[in-house]
Amino acid sequence: MHGRSIDGGDGVPVARPSEVTRPLETARLRGPDFHDIALLDDGEIDAVCLDGHYRLDRRLGAGGMGFVYAGRELDEERPVAVKILSEGKTAHYPTLSRFLREAQLGVRIHHRNVVEALDFGSTPEGLVYLVMELLQGEDLGVLIRRHEGLPWPRVRSLVLQICAGLSALHAIGVVHRDVKPTNCFRVLEDGHELVKLLDLGVATRPDQPGDDLDLDLDGGRTIVGTPQYMSPEQARGETVDERSDVYSTGIILCELLTGRVPFDGSAQAVLDAQIREEPPSLQRLAPAGMRIDPAVQRIYERALAKDPAQRFASIEELAAAIRAIPCEDPLEISGTYEPVVLPRPEERHPWRSLAAGLLRGFAVFCRVPARREPSYEPEERRPST
């Protein structure tokens, strides 16, 4: 698992473990009482600094789990996003533990295809926060809703970048467990699409004892993730490895290419389908007029194999199979491949898409009693985008 590298798209390297880890740092809040700040409407916030390094300027969004603020790193004038767990959630051990896990894992990863976590800490009042880079763009869920399937060259580039980000996580023994379009954020860099993975709140290190936060005191297990993108073993509440992320990435490939996921419907119905049903072919899901390359279908089938042993053994193997399909012979698709142009800042509020993604970053949890079939009961509804 360690020491491997792949490209996130052509020429986009994945750093080796020594390059993706860095020392952990903590911070303290200085400024007005944070209880008051959390209640302010969107707008300017005066004289709020985190450890003398970060200034909070305005609130971007709020949800059931907390708040996201836009700010700036004072030393370098770098824009930052600050995610704060709401006061009531700090007393809920599983939620607090997942927030801290996201922070602790985030500051260890430094990779262009993973959102950069800069710092985390707690306020004197006991609120915890996470400082991240501030991104301008949209998640892939927005892109999918705007199109009825994307051409293969574009899907290829986007999925390879997802693979690159996951490879950086897998290189340090971390499984994401909630890979889905809304956790893949799309920005422009030098005129090209760049994808960054969000939300490490439910990531796990299966090779480290005591890292599993999904077990209850009575022996039951909580399923974490999103049903439409769960592997069969994840849907059963079992311990997963990186091949579960391979499965989820295969579903994203399907959705980017066809505009549809293999299984949809109620949460329980989708969980059952992930476990028992074979996924429909890409051609069946594809829009009228789209021809699916048989090589792409074979990748999809292998990535979504029910048995993890029949899947690609690693995210690097999946990426290699995708790269082996030449872009010089793209899929036939109705319509044309438009250039990527994001709206100008004065036309919209591009930060709000990031805020929604960060606030949505607490995956759906569902209770699974010991030695019984999984049941799906979300603890609370997510904020809508």
68, 355 contact by CB (below 8 A): yes
Flag residues of the chain having pLDDT under 50.
Answer: 1-36, 38-44, 47, 213, 215-219, 329-352, 361-385
pTM across the whole model? 0.76
Q: Tell me the pLDDT tens digit for each residue of 219-272.
A: 455 778 899 999 999 999 999 999 999 999 999 999 999 999 999 999 999 999
3-state helix, strand, coil in the chain (%, to 5): 35, 20, 50
Are residues 208 and 147 part of one domain? yes
Q: Identify the burial level of 339 via C-beta atoms within 10 angstroms of its C-beta, where 0-12 means exposed, 13-18 middle and 19 or more buried.
A: exposed
Active-site residue (options: 178, 199, 214, 272):
178
Last residue of a domain, one of 106, 133, 160: 133
Same domain, 212 and 103: no
Those residues with Cβ within 8 angstroms of residue 90's Cβ, 6 or more apart along the chain or in another chain: 96, 126, 127, 128
According to the model, what pLDDT value does residue 327 have? 76
**pLDDT on residue 88:** 64
Looking at residue 61, its pLDDT comes to 79
Same domain, 350 and 221: yes
Domain count, the chain: 2
10 among known catalytic residues: no
My answer on whether 306 and 273 are in the same domain is yes
Whether residues 109 and 206 fall in one domain: no
Structural domain of 35: 17-133
The predicted pLDDT at position 206 comes to 80
